[in-house]
Amino acid sequence: MRKHVITTAAIAALALLAVSGCSSRTAATSGTEAAAGFAKDATIGVALPSKTSENWVLAGGLFTDGLKAAGFKGDVQYAGASTTVKDQQDQISAMVTKGAKVIIIGAADGGQLSTQVKAAHDAGAVVIAYDRLILNTPNVDSYVAYDNFKVGSLQGQALLDGLKAKKATGPYNIELFSGSSDDANSKVFFDGAMSVLQPKITDGTLVVGSGQKDIKQTATAAWKSENAQSRMDALLTSTYGAKSIDGVLSPNDTLARAIITSVKAAGKPIPVVTGQDSEAESVKSIMAGEQYSTINKDTRLLVTQAITMVKDLQAGQKAPSNDTKSYNNGVKIVPAFLLPPVIVTKLNAAAAYANDPLLSPLTK
Ligand code: BGC
């Protein structure tokens, strides 16, 4: 996975896009399979995973409102917490039966949707992977997401910066956490972070106390906070009886807070802990000086971009993409439209959330 360079101009263009809600092809360089166009009030399916983080909760409401405002019949569904994969498969099949013209999918398990997306294609629907890539199928037309590799490299850099701010020189004791192995993003986040951290592990600046550096060892099943908390409890007992722990790479905010809970329960000082998603509780924690960093992946912009793609398809145009190299799903390279993530610490939180009515008050 290569790194993506997204300019300030692109950020400004996206902000404009979000405000105006208009269909823009400014950043488009190539597109996906052309659609013939379809009725302006067509059914658009949106299949989201279970609500493992606040961004998914926000996305559902934004899709419902945004698709309605654009004149479409939105059908927004979440997979349940227990039978997640089966729920989502059934929901997508039902969308196909209802004649959805576009199906937007935030995959519960990106490797287990081949049958459903094939049925969608056979019925003439366009399939857009939202936030998480759909793997091992030719039947996914587009991907819309924040730049996942960049998310990881920003997390890695934040961890290093936070450590240096506390103590000018290493070695620093750290531990690594990654996301759920059924989410294609988890590896990309981890690879991005390790692109920054691995050279510092190799030169001895960073020491992974437990020795657990492999993505299989660091994974957090189903992105569940209790799984991160129990792994952190075990690491503290096995490795940090006498030693201090200086930093923890956490792939998102839910897990960051679980890691901090574990450290507090063990009576240890809170290490530098990274995150992602700008969840309200984590923004509060950052302002209180506990969690060190998060990532702003403004859900409003991502949903707006996905709806822009739907509008373009409705008009018979190709869905825009700005990256046609990075996202190989095992069968094809899926044309992607990537948005730029923003690192947030206590230092820039007020500026980063200035236009966010929910988060801005938390930074005052
Ligand atoms: C998303 C993250 C989120 C995680 C758990 C990932 O696919 O990109 O933003 O924290 O899923 O919900």
Domain ranges across the chain:
8-140+298-340, 148-296
- Pick the residue whose CA is nearest to atom 6 on ligand 1: 185
Ligand 1 geometric centre to CA of 186 (Å) = 8
Ligand 1 geometric centre to CA of 53 (Å) = 7
Nearest ligand 1 atom to the CA of 55 is: 9
What is the three-class DSSP state of 246?
Answer: coil
CATH code of the domain made up of 148-296: 3.40.50.2300
Asked whether the domain spanning 148-296 has the same topology as the one spanning 8-140+298-340, the reply is: yes
Topology of domain 8-140+298-340 in CATH is Rossmann fold (3.40.50)
Nearest ligand 1 atom to the CA of 53 is: 12
Q: What is the pLDDT of residue 81?
A: 72
Q: Any bridge partners for residue 172, and if so which? A: 206
Among residues 348, 145, 151, the alpha carbon closest in space to that of 250 is found at 151
Instruction: State how far the alpha carbon of 40 is from the alpha carbons of 276, 279, 318, in Å.
Output: 36, 35, 16
Phi, psi dihedral angles at 6 (to 5 degrees) = -120, 125
Nearest ligand 1 atom to the CA of 189 is: 8
Round the average pLDDT of the chain to a whole number and report it.
91
pLDDT digits (tens, 9 = 90+) for 22-81: 333 333 334 444 445 999 999 999 999 999 899 999 999 999 999 999 999 999 999 987
Nearest ligand 1 atom to the CA of 148 is: 8
pLDDT digits (tens, 9 = 90+) for 307-364: 999 999 999 999 999 999 999 999 999 999 999 999 999 999 999 999 999 999 999 9
Q: What is the DSSP string of 113-142?
A: -HHHHHHHHHTT-EEEEESSPPPS-S---E
The ligand 1 site (C-beta within 6 Å) comprises 52-53, 55, 131-132, 179, 183, 185, 223, 252, 276-277
Ligand 1 geometric centre to CA of 327 (Å) = 17
130: its two tokens:
């939202």
What is the three-class DSSP state of 314?
Answer: helix
Stretch 210-232: mean pLDDT: 97
pLDDT band, residue 19 (cuts 50/70/90): very low
* Cβ count near 230 (within 10 Å): 14
Ligand 1 geometric centre to CA of 319 (Å) = 23
